[in-house]
A and B are shown apart, each in its own frame.
Chain A
Amino acid sequence: MSIPGAGVHRRDFLDILSRHGASGLEGDVAQAIASLFSKYSPDVHIDRLGNVIAHVCASDTATPVELRPRVLLTAHMDEIALMVTEITDGGFLRVTETGGFDARTLVGQEVVVHGKEPIVGIVGSTPPHLSSAKDRSHAATLADLYIDVAMKQTRVEEFVQIGDRVTVRRSPLSLQNDRISAKAADNRSSIAILLECLASLQELKHPVELHVAATVQEEFGMVGARTVAHHLQPDIAIAADVTFGALPGQAPHESFRLGYGATISYGPRIHRRVFERLRDTAVQLDIPYQIEVLNNATGTEVDVLQVVGNGIAVGLVGIPLRYMHTAVETVDYADIALCGRLLANTVASFDHAFVEELSCY
């Protein structure tokens, strides 16, 4: 089902995956994304909280400005991170988290400590030679972890202070079938979806005033999406975020196959007409898709976007991702390209009549 080679932003995706952007410290990632957005819009800016917003004007200018649908697409660019809480005797770092880690997956990982300068560290582990049977049956908790930066304590204190962020260090790895494994594929994958969407949209005539936003601090509490939506007051907002890739031992309704297309979400927090338009567009253009049903919270920016201001008609798309919140989050680029195309065609299909009907029940 995979379509290797599809999409035009694979290299840019690998670049933004390699960058570090803890929630609240998205600056480097934001700059890179702003420069990529600039290929598609002369109007790109980084707002007060650090969100990157590109404005794409209607290409079909026959529609008067006041009748043009105002559409917002969002994807968060931040990644889960750790935060230094203590510099111990011997110069090791103790940490807490900003974002949900499984501490067990951090043992032995390489990390970057974002102090005065970025410093490479390793999350310590006890060698098997010195572990008792009791040690070996102990699953690491966050409190057990320490980071080794291979410097003396006095030198560590020159570079690092309490509150400094720590992110996982991992070069993206290309697997078979156009699959890519990396840290922060949640949710840089969706940044790539936005880029693919912008590329596809260039070939479509549409009456939509579109804003595309790479948002901050989703992993902390969806801060960026809230303020962007408040500022722009769109008629329709569609968030792109990753969902669970199928693996043995997972419930079927939380398992989506890599390489089988984008996921389109359905549930009470999602506007049914936006959902239908996404699905119908996929069917019409023969774009493969998978339906994700969410009985309540989506765990994505949709949860805040829906209730901003007078309320927004929201939709949710995404792609399946394996091993979420580990250092080897794995996605299929074919899904990203397909999702971008689906988004572009859906956006291009919106018109004034569609917007009018969104409030008719």
Chain B
Amino acid sequence: MLLKSLTEAFGPSGFEDDVRNVIRTELRETVDHMETDVLGNLFVQKLASQDNEQRHQLRVMLDAHMDEVGLMIVHIEDNGLLKFQPIGGVDSRILLGKTVIIGKQRVPGVIGFKPFHLQSREENQKVPKIEDLYIDIGVDTRQAAEALVARGTPVVFTTAFEFIGDRAMKAKSFDDRIGCAVLVEVLKQSVPLTVHGVFAVQEEIGLRGAEVAGYRVQPDIAIALEGTVCSDGVGTPSHRQATILGAGPALTVQDGRTIADRRFLDFVISVAEKHDIPYQLRRVKAGSNDFGAIHQTREGVIGGGISVPVRYIHAPSQIASLDDFENTVRLVRAVLTEIAAGGFQR
């Protein structure tokens, strides 16, 4: 199952190899060209299904990033415990009592914490610093640890993909494997115009893959497909609810790196309404996606971000809605159809 193999794949920023391989296997039979660049971005090209007139000769790029947030081993203690630092935005508060997998050898480990019984009252009211935590792989000496891991070895959470609740899914790394899955699904079907698909590296540490990918592809229109912040939990005031689970694909208005291109935003909204696909506007400025880098490449690129809402993003167990995922695939297809039909005027 695509979402399962993508979300369970091992791929923090800079170590996206497994994800890239999953995607290559999925798309080998259905795309016309694949290549990788010097950073590790995966480019796939799928030609238009029929020799469409390509009236506007628009070059369309769809992007999703392969990397996920994770950890990196930075030091091995004499007692065999492993010190780590985050790769991307990881809040130390979600690390306590979690299980992880380390490196190519897939060494299992746990992030434990001092027993409740032995804590002072002051200790109990503090947020532990990442520097105070460690990963325990079950060895007692540095030597035994070094046989299995090294400084610099990357780490991810162990979460399994599962369906839970009502048409919801639980996994790690929906940010942005759910975007990768949307892009794979779009590329598996015939497309009304030639699509330049980019599976980018290193979004979580500064949109680094997308920056060079945008330069290489030189698109007229680019769309970043993302898993985005969903914060509709208890006690969140309405204006802080970035997106709502199940309310449809989220369109970026403004985030940390992009002010939405109004022409394109209005176009996507009109497509959603025409095709009767639910959508929502992303209501917070925080966060960003690859479009933040892509739209500033060369002379500038028109486009935007279409995102699947993800609760508990950057935490080990995240929740997304199957309806939102399917509606995002529908919306991206509809947008391609309308662009091919000449519906978008620059």
Over the window 129-153 of chain B, the binary record of Cβ atoms lying under 8 Å from chain A Cβ atoms (1 yes, 0 no) is 0000000111110001000100000
Q: How far is the CA of A247 from the CA of B90 in the complex (A)?
A: 24
Q: A136-B91, A146-B234, A173-B99 are in contact. Are A326 and B112 (CB under 8 A)?
A: yes
Majority SS of interface residues in chain B?
loop
A220 at the interface (CB under 8 A from B): no
Q: How far is the CA of A325 from the CA of B119 in the complex (A)?
A: 12
Stretch at the interface among B31-39, B208-216, B315-323, B335-343: B315-323
Over the window 277-318 of chain B, the binary record of Cβ atoms lying under 8 Å from chain A Cβ atoms (1 yes, 0 no) is 000000010110000000000000000000000011111110
Q: How far is the CB of A113 from chain B (nearest CB, A)?
A: 11
CB atoms of B148 and A176 under 8 A apart? yes
CB atoms of A127 and B312 under 8 A apart? yes
B252 at the interface (CB under 8 A from A): no
Q: How far is the CB of B32 from chain A (nearest CB, A)?
A: 37
Over the window 301-344 of chain A, the binary record of Cβ atoms lying under 8 Å from chain B Cβ atoms (1 yes, 0 no) is 00000000000000000000011111110101000000000000
Q: How far is the CB of A356 from chain B (nearest CB, A)?
A: 38
B127 at the interface (CB under 8 A from A): yes
With beta carbons under 8 angstroms apart, the residue of A136, A259, A323 that contacts B115 is A323
Q: A110-B317, A327-B98 are in contact. Are A139 and B113 (CB under 8 A)?
A: no
With beta carbons under 8 angstroms apart, the residue of A127, A140, A181, A324 that contacts B229 is A127
Q: Please, which residues of chain A bring their CB within 8 A of the CB of B284?
A: 129-130
CB atoms of B165 and A127 under 8 A apart? no
CB atoms of A129 and B286 under 8 A apart? yes
Q: Please, which residues of chain B bring their CB within 8 A of the CB of A140?
A: 93
Q: Please, which residues of chain A bring their CB within 8 A of the CB of B148?
A: 176
Q: How far is the CB of A75 from chain B (nearest CB, A)?
A: 19
Majority SS of interface residues in chain A?
loop
Over the window 88-132 of chain A, the binary record of Cβ atoms lying under 8 Å from chain B Cβ atoms (1 yes, 0 no) is 101010100000111011111110000000011110111111110
Q: Please, which residues of chain A bring their CB within 8 A of the CB of B229?
A: 127, 129-130
CB atoms of B313 and A127 under 8 A apart? yes
List CB contacts (< 8 Å) of A73-91 with chain B: 88, 90
Stretch at the interface among A10-18, A150-158, A200-208, A345-353: A150-158
A179 at the interface (CB under 8 A from B): yes
CB atoms of B128 and A104 under 8 A apart? yes
A64 at the interface (CB under 8 A from B): no
Q: How far is the CA of A177 from the CA of B162 in the complex (A)?
A: 30
A254 at the interface (CB under 8 A from B): yes
CB atoms of A128 and B91 under 8 A apart? yes
B22 at the interface (CB under 8 A from A): no
A175 at the interface (CB under 8 A from B): yes
B126 at the interface (CB under 8 A from A): yes
Q: How far is the CB of A183 from chain B (nearest CB, A)?
A: 9
18 contacting pairs across A/B (C-beta < 8 A):
A104-B96, A105-B113, A108-B312, A109-B97, A125-B315, A126-B233, A129-B313, A136-B91, A139-B126, A148-B311, A173-B110, A175-B108, A249-B114, A254-B118, A323-B113, A324-B117, A325-B115, A330-B110
| Chain A interface residues toward B at CB < 8 A | 88, 90, 92, 94, 100-102, 104-110, 119-122, 124-131, 136-140, 146, 148-152, 155, 170, 173-177, 179, 181, 244, 247-251, 254, 257-259, 299, 322-328, 330, 332
